[in-house]
Chain A
Amino acid sequence: MEQHHDLADRLLVGAVDLHCHTGPSIMERKLDHLEQIADAEAAGLHAVLFKDHFYSNTPVMATLGAYRRPGSDLHLLSGVPLNNQLGGLNPDAVQQGLMLGARMVWMPTLCAHNHLRTAFAYNLHGRLGLAPPTALSVIDDAGVLRDEVKEILDLMAAHDAVLCGGHLHVSEFYPLFTEAKERGVTRMVVSHPTYWIEAKLDDLRELAGMGVYLEHCACMLIEGPSRKFEFDALRDYVDAAGLEHTIIGSDLGQTFNPRPVPGFRAAIALCLELGFSPTEIRAMTSHNATRLVGIASADDAHLQDCLHAH
């Protein structure tokens, strides 16, 4: 355990969290972007992707970069979330975000038709007293991918951006990712495929075979109020999709959960408990993510004694 403790800290150095929910937000958040930047720098993270469901953090990070510690090379990543607040599946929102440096485009999350059905009890708009969302799907009534989605995919291919499936249903992923690949999108990911998305192990296998990364979320794995899975579920997910296509993100920032950096560390510690090797953990918590988003990999010099080629 003592050994794990030290190793988890060392694996946090150079780690990449592609799923961080910090404020300001109309959802209550435990901390804001600047506090997360400070946490990430203190722990030595390599990159953080800031995700709000309702606005793009791309211009925000352009300004907040000035507040990084001198000499900090923490990557501040961002993207465009295609919910109602940006006009839904809006190619104009995508284009301006990509022109400003957004790396990811999220298909609808909290406004996804699938979310409003599968997660109807979540009822964010009801709890916050917001206007009822207009439900969004990437396919039309006949199951055919919508034209505006094709325009979005073309813009993304031109900017080599990352396509995230958002909270669409797994059944929407096949037409979406098939068309994305045909149009030249090469960077694809699905977040928490086994929660709200209804992907089965066979889907993880097939999606990984299409080149899609599967991101499992610390908040659903580690001990805490948002835990959704048995601790060893991650083993099954990795066995299905393969280590090379498995990513761990925090999905943290909720007031009732640990802060994203300690939560991410807890996920690393859980992986060690489950018997994943430091090399495997490094793949899932850093290298796969940097490869997905297309940034330089983290420096592993401080881990040379425990990493192995595989």
Chain B
Amino acid sequence: MPIDEIEAKIDELLKGAIDLGCQTGPVPVGHAADPLPTARAARDAGMAGLVLNNHFYPMTPVVQILRRHEFANSTLELVSGVALNTWVGGLNVYAVEHDVRLGGRVVWMPTLSADNDRRHTYRQRRTGPMTALRPQRTLSVLDDLGRVRDELGPIFDLIAGHDAVLAAGHLHISEILPLFRAAEDKGVTRLLLVDPVLYSDATDSDLRALSDMGVFVAVTGQSIAADPDSLAALLAAVPPEQIILASGAVPSDNQTPLHALRAIIAHGLAQRVDSGMLRVMLSTNPARLLGLAPDQGAA
């Protein structure tokens, strides 16, 4: 396909898209986009929603202000949530309660503070940007006996009570399976697994088991960067009705989440994924996960 034809196709697919992995800041280390130009660019592209997030603090206060003022009458839904890393006290029920009360819709299990993340990124952690921070206590959602930690019980209750999303990505599959099962038992219905190829060590059959539970699996540019075949592999393992394409972390301050989202759409087109299927993964599925559109039920 000629470049301008691809660009036109991407423009078309962005209309109505919801980016679940829109990383915004400011952040103390690493890169993240400024939320205001990011939201304006998404609105101008005709997108239907952004889930603004970062590892360090919830974007909910700023999202609520933007929703109340500049984006009050916009068709762009601005969504946010809280990542349960050490900067908000880890698996902290008060952090969850506060965020969902303020309007947060997604609760991410530990990301940079996950013990499993440290096991995977120990090399980067010796010299990378994280060295600017004091040593972090790392976290698992399981206790030493392999049971889902007690503190997650009231967290599941809050997520279920607010019909919010429970998301995990930096945990190991040995944590994710019991976590999601326990959450489901407590009434959590919106479950999201992000970039399983990066840290989870999940096999195709694990992913199928999760997908059968109704878990959505998000693929961001980080998955593609780590393994160019990861989207194709996921499509072979899981029905497209359970897959979501999202931007993910931006590699530098010159990159925007919209660039990153365009790049993953371009990747999908290059992989000859059908446009209709791409639209399902960009618009329909994230809307179903977030409850922004009628859910036709898990595939």
Contact = CB atoms under 8 A, between A and B. Distances in A.
Interface of A: 23-26, 32-34, 52, 54-57, 59-60, 62-64, 66-67, 83-88, 90-93, 95-96, 99-100, 128, 130-131, 133-134, 151, 155
A57, A87, A90, A100: residue with the most chain B Cβ atoms closer than 10 Å: A87
Contact of A85 (B28, B29, B88, B134): B88
A84 B92 contact: yes
23 contacts: A24-B102, A26-B98, A54-B98, A55-B58, A56-B57, A59-B25, A59-B57, A59-B59, A64-B62, A84-B92, A85-B95, A87-B89, A87-B95, A88-B89, A90-B87, A92-B86, A95-B28, A96-B87, A96-B133, A100-B26, A100-B28, A130-B101, A131-B97
B21 interface: no
Contacts, number: 108
Contact of A55 (B57, B89, B92, B136): B57
Given A84-B92, A87-B90, 9 more contacts: A55-B58, A60-B65, A63-B66, A84-B89, A85-B95, A87-B92, A93-B87, A151-B134, A155-B134
A85 B98 contact: yes
A66 B36 contact: yes
Interface of B: 25-29, 34-36, 56-62, 64-66, 68-69, 86-90, 92-95, 97-98, 101-103, 132-134, 136, 154
A90 B86 contact: yes
B91 to A, nearest CB: 10
A87 B62 CA distance: 20
A131 B93 contact: yes
A33 B65 contact: yes
Contact of B94 (A52, A99, A131): A131
Given A63-B34, A85-B94, A57 B89 contact: no
Contacts of B95: 85-87
Contacts of A86: 87-89, 95
Given A60-B61, A96-B57, A26 B101 contact: yes
Contacts of A55: 57-58, 60-61, 98, 102
A33 B61 CA distance: 10
A91 B136 CA distance: 10
